[in-house]
Amino acid sequence: MPATGHIRPLLAKEFLDLARNKTALVPVAIVTVLSLALPFGIAIAIPAMTGHALGEDSDLVRVSHMASAADTLSDDGRIQLFLFQQFLMMFLITPVTGAMALASHAIVGEKQARTLEPLLATPLGTFELLTAKVLGALLPTMTISGIGLGLYLAGIALFAAPGVGAAMADMRTFLLVALVAPASALVSLQAAILISSRVNDARTAQQFGALIIIPLAGLMVAQFSGSVWLSSAALALIGLGLLAAWLALTFVSVTLFDRETILTRWR
């Protein structure tokens, strides 16, 4: 069992550093705002402005029946529920996009700032270093996306058709918010940290890191197109699979962290 006592001081440093460099969190704030603006624009504002109710679109009605068993809702309400459930997937991407730059920069950034060698000269272990880096990127961005999610759910309760807010509060939403979102963020960030410890340039790390968005984006598109509907059971399996993948990636990251190469070959 690796020691964990050194994670806290390094994590405190990560938070302090971020607090002094708030612009690093602007991307996650922007993605969060977009994640809020898009669904409310599409499901509430545009129908209100154009005067065309969502229920007038037969395709949307058909798809919404496939996705939801909420028979007590009106057509408009069911379509809103369908759209809000789809856009909930955006909150999977929010923490990942925002934290990606932080995570990709984590190790290579320390090396380039020449702060890594003094750190490695302390009793700090590799697992502790990498865990502090993952949490340092994850927690602030999860906090921001968590605030966004709270606003999202509050907005639904306030502005959506009657019953939509209550229908959103189901196991599927809970699994997405409490399990799949943090698990996918952990996998993405751990992968970014792994990349960051294997390349010698922050830009390269960021470009590799951006590739991690692709499977999440694919999942979103598949859901929107109606070709895939992730049930609660499927989401639970995905969440647990992601957690297992995170543990595996953590092990690989620690194993592949080659402090000698980082110290002696990187310039």
Partner 1 sequence: MIAARHLTRRFGPRTAVDDVTFEVGRSEIVALLGPNGAGKTTTLRMLAGLIAPTSGSVAIGGVQLTRANGAALRMQIGFLTEAPGLWERLTVRENLRVYAGLYGLADADARIDRVLELFAIADRGNARTVELSKGTRQKAALARTLLHDPTILLLDEPTSGLDPEVTRSVRMLLDERRAAGCSILVSTHNLDEAERLADRVAVLDERLVAIDDPAALRARLTTGRTIVRVAGDPSAYVDAIRSIVGPAVDVAVERSALALQLPHPERQTPAIVAALVAAGAQVLEVRAEMPALEDVYVHLMAADGGGA
Footprint on this chain of partner 1 (rule: CB under 8 A)? 3, 5-6, 8-10, 12-13, 16-17, 20-21, 113-125, 259-260, 263-264
Using alpha carbons only, give the angle 17, 20, 23 rounded to the nearest 5 degrees.
105
Q: How far is the CB of 128 from partner 1 (least distance, A)?
A: 9
Smallest gap from Cβ 24 to partner 1, in A, equals 11
Q: Which is nearer to partner 1, 158 or 265 (CB)?
A: 265
| CB of 246 vs partner 1, minimal distance in Å | 25
Nearer to partner 1, 12 or 45 (CB): 12
DSSP track, 79-139? HHHHHHHHHHTHHHHHHHHHHHHHHHHHHHHHHHTT-HHHHHTSS--HHHHHHHHHHHHHH
The radius of gyration of the chain from alpha carbons, rounded to an integer in Å, stands at 21
Specify whether the CB–CB gap between 80 and 54 falls below 8 A.
Answer: yes
Using the minimum distance from each CB to partner 1, give the nearer residue, 22 or 62.
22
Question: What amino acid occupies position 260?
Answer: E
226's torsion region: left (phi>0), alpha (psi -120 to 50) or beta? Answer: left
Query: Least distance from C-beta 11 to partner 1, angstroms?
Result: 10
Phi then psi for residue 163, to 5 deg, are: 95, -20
Q: How far is the CB of 8 from partner 1 (least distance, A)?
A: 7
Return the sign of the alpha-carbon dihedral for residues 105, 108, 112, 116: positive
CA distance 220 to 130: 29
Nearer to partner 1, 56 or 117 (CB): 117
Sign for the pseudo-dihedral over CA of 61, 63, 68, 69: positive
For partner 1, give the closer residue by CB, 21 or 207: 21
Give the separation between CA 188 and CA 184, rounded to whole angstroms.
6
Q: Which residue, 16 or 221, has its beta carbon nearer to partner 1?
A: 16
- Give least dist CB 234 to partner 1, A: 42
- CB nearer to partner 1: give 106 or 185: 106
CB of 63 to partner 1, least distance (A): 49
